[in-house]
């Protein structure tokens, strides 16, 4: 479990504590760093970044990157307390001061700039956080050499790189061109709808060749069948996609497995594995919805437009080609009892029981009739913000009660901290959606959550 520090509702950059808990909720260890002192306050008119601060940030990046000002773009901006000791350990008596954080794209890099929230818009610090977007797509050309699938795209012995960042379209290879574009769509979603900053920096693979990190994918892979009807994430190697399952939501699903590895670290077994799979479906569909390219009839349907067709219906899990449960431990629930000594199919039903989390996300986002009442949705922007924060606060063994409890808690915190415009009606909708899919909340003791 991860905890962040806020002062008057504004996050302290770099402050946080990671808790390691036993299954019964007892604390095993706590590690992290917090700020102990503050100096100053935000202007009375509010905490929104000012135009003067924005100009200062852009000016700093323009000079440091030797870029023309009109080529820069502010990707994200927000209020954040800035404590230098949390950045470079500069002494015990340093205080956090009110500031604004800007993530600025310049010449292929992403810069993070902190500007003081006061007269003069003083730049406090600035550094590059990684490339804002770098892509590499390899082509297996429908060959089935499994040994090369295990090699990172672009590494020695991999399938050939047919398109890398900034290169023109590949003649006669629409699979590579589509995946190249979809990698960009996925980066854009995470940059615009979450406070991640650079997806490339988080999960990009660096081959040590001086080219830095890149989002990597291999297309037209053949394994058991050709075209291959599967896709998967390979950790330090990137995404692998067969030609029968090429779709934006499928690619973003696989990319999100990489995000989960680096954030919540959800185990890929039993109930936590189902939450892991659901989070990939949720962010995969969020990414597709954010492009506004899909047809209304395809909303919440994973795999729409691929050669194999729809594989999961998130809004109506029982209606998919492989019916899933739509309520917690309800009809269709698979045994979540996998262990080394007693294996269970599909690692304990991770692809089956994900239906519960999928329906929950669809209800939270769009609303609908469920459980005998009408639930009002909170919309894509708020749902994406909510789920991103939850993704960063879950822990490896988290099951559905932890997911539901974190969703409701984060929503309530967003109201208290004036984040993203969350309202009482939004949190009522989240609670109603949780109740509709019948997920119990974690039991509490003395106001603290515990299994």
Verify whether residue 424 is a known catalytic residue. Answer: no
- Which is the catalytic residue, given 253, 257, 338, 351? 351
Verify whether residue 254 is a known catalytic residue. Answer: yes
Check if the beta carbon of residue 403 is closer than 8 Å to that of residue 390: yes
Check if the beta carbon of residue 367 is closer than 8 Å to that of residue 377: yes
Cis peptide upstream of residue 227 (ω within 30 degrees of 0): yes
Helix (H, G, I), strand (E, B) or coil at 382: helix
- Which is the catalytic residue, given 254, 271, 288, 326? 254
Continuous segment of H or E residues that includes residue 29: strand 27-33
If phi > 0 it is left, if psi is from -120 to 50 it is alpha, else beta; for residue 354 that is alpha
Check if the beta carbon of residue 130 is closer than 8 Å to that of residue 190: no
Q: Which has the closest alpha carbon to 259: 315, 327, 203, 215?
A: 203
- CA–CA distance, 78 with 10 (Å, rounded to integer): 9
- CA–CA distance, 363 with 316 (Å, rounded to integer): 10
Q: Which two tokens stand for residue 155?
A: 């590494």
Tell how far CA 33 is from the center of its chain.
24
Phi, psi of 21 (to 5 degrees): -115, 150
- Angle at Cα 157 formed by Cα 257 and Cα 133, nearest 5°? 45
Check if the beta carbon of residue 160 is closer than 8 Å to that of residue 148: no
- CA–CA distance, 233 with 258 (Å, rounded to integer): 7
How long is the chain?
Answer: 451
Residues with catalytic roles: 254, 351
């Amino acid at each position: 479990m991860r905890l962040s520090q806020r002062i008057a509702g504004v996050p302290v950059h770099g402050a946080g504590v990671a808790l390691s808990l036993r299954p019964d909720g007892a604390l095993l260890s706590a590690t992290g760093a917090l700020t102990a002192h503050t100096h100053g306050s935000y202007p009375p008119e509010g905490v929104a970044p000012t135009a003067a601060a924005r100009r200062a940030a852009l000016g700093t990046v323009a000079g440091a990157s030797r870029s023309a000002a009109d080529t820069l773009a502010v990707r994200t901006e927000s209020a954040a307390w800035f404590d230098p000791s949390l950045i470079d350990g500069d002494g015990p008596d340093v205080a956090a001061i009110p500031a604004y954080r800007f993530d600025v794209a310049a010449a292929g890099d992403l810069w993070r700039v902190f500007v003081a929230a006061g007269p003069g818009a003083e730049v406090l610090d600035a550094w590059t956080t990684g490339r804002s977007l770098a892509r590499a797509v390899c082509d297996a050309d429908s060959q089935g050499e499994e040994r090369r699938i295990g090699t990172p795209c672009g590494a020695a012995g991999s399938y050939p790189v047919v398109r890398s960042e900034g290169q023109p379209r590949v003649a006669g290879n629409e699979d590579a061109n589509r995946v190249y574009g979809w990698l960009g769509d996925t980066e854009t979603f995470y940059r615009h709808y979450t406070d991640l900053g650079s997806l490339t920096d988080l999960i990009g693979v660096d081959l040590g060749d001086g080219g830095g990190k890149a989002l990597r994918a291999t297309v037209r892979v053949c394994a058991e069948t050709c075209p291959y009807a599967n896709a998967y994430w390979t950790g330090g190697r990137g995404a692998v996609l067969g030609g029968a399952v090429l779709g934006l939501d499928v690619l973003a699903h696989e990319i999100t497995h990489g995000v989960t590895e680096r954030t919540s670290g959800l185990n890929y077994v039993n109930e936590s594995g189902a939450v892991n799979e659901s989070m990939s479906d949720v962010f995969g569909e969020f990414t597709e919805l954010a492009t506004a390219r899909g047809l209304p009839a395809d909303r919440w349907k994973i795999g729409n437009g691929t050669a194999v067709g729809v594989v999961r219906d998130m809004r109506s899990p029982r209606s998919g080609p492989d019916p899933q449960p739509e309520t917690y431990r309800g009809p269709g629930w698979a045994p979540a009892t996998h262990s080394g000594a007693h294996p269970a199919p599909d690692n304990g039903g991770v692809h089956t029981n994900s239906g519960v989390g999928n329906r929950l996300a669809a209800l939270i986002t769009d609303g609908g009739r469920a459980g005998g009442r009408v639930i009002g949705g909170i919309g894509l922007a708020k749902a994406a913000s909510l789920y991103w924060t939850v993704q960063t606060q879950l822990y490896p063994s988290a099951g559905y009660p932890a997911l539901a409890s974190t969703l409701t808690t984060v929503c309530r915190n967003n109201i208290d901290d004036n984040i993203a415009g969350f309202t009482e009606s939004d949190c009522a909708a989240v609670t109603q959606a949780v109740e509709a899919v019948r997920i119990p909340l974690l039991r509490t003791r003395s106001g603290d959550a515990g299994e």
